[in-house]
Amino acid sequence: MADEDRTHHRLQSVEIDEDSLAAVSRDQEQERQIAIFDLLEENYFFPEGAQTGPYDLRMGLLENRLVLDVRGPDYEKRHILSLSPFRMLIKDYFLICESYYQAIRNSTPQQIEALDMGRRGLHNEASELLRTRLTGKIETNLDTSRRLFTLICALHWRG
């Protein structure tokens, strides 16, 4: 990927539709904020048919579908993805994250590390699925899709 692509094909802002968000715990809110910060710090985001970025992204839910509203200098499009293929991954991710947050408070470093490895593996699997589901719509790299998956989960968290 050329440096020019990294400069031009990137997100400059990410907004999550407040009406789509559920109440969250402090840990979940912090994870969401970190994902947005990291995503804006470094990402590769190239919508099909766009000439150049940077892009603004608004994420939300509409009837259990993921809505990605993307705007750029010469680009404006709404992408809607079914979340059905993600249901089990999101459910499992919530369970392992809850265990991880509890382990941070009460467990040994080895137990925390084991849960974190499981969490990262599940996160990677979901990120690859997201990249596949975005084929022909938006091209991303693995780190970008990982952070986007975190934000997709943020739309599903229940406090």
> Any idea which of 5-14, 48-57, 117-126 has the lowest mean pLDDT?
5-14
pLDDT confidence of 156, banded at 50, 70, 90? confident
Q: In this prediction, what percent of the chain has a pLDDT beyond 70?
A: 89
153 token code pair: 């989960």
Q: What is the mean pLDDT of the chain?
A: 87
Q: Is the pLDDT of residue 3 over 50?
A: no
pLDDT confidence of 94, banded at 50, 70, 90? confident
10-68 per-position pLDDT tens digit: 999 999 887 766 666 776 778 778 889 999 999 999 999 999 999 999 998 888 899 99
Q: What is the pLDDT of residue 23?
A: 61
Name the residue with higher pLDDT: 138 or 151.
138
In this prediction the pTM is 0.84
- Which residues share a beta bridge with 138? 47
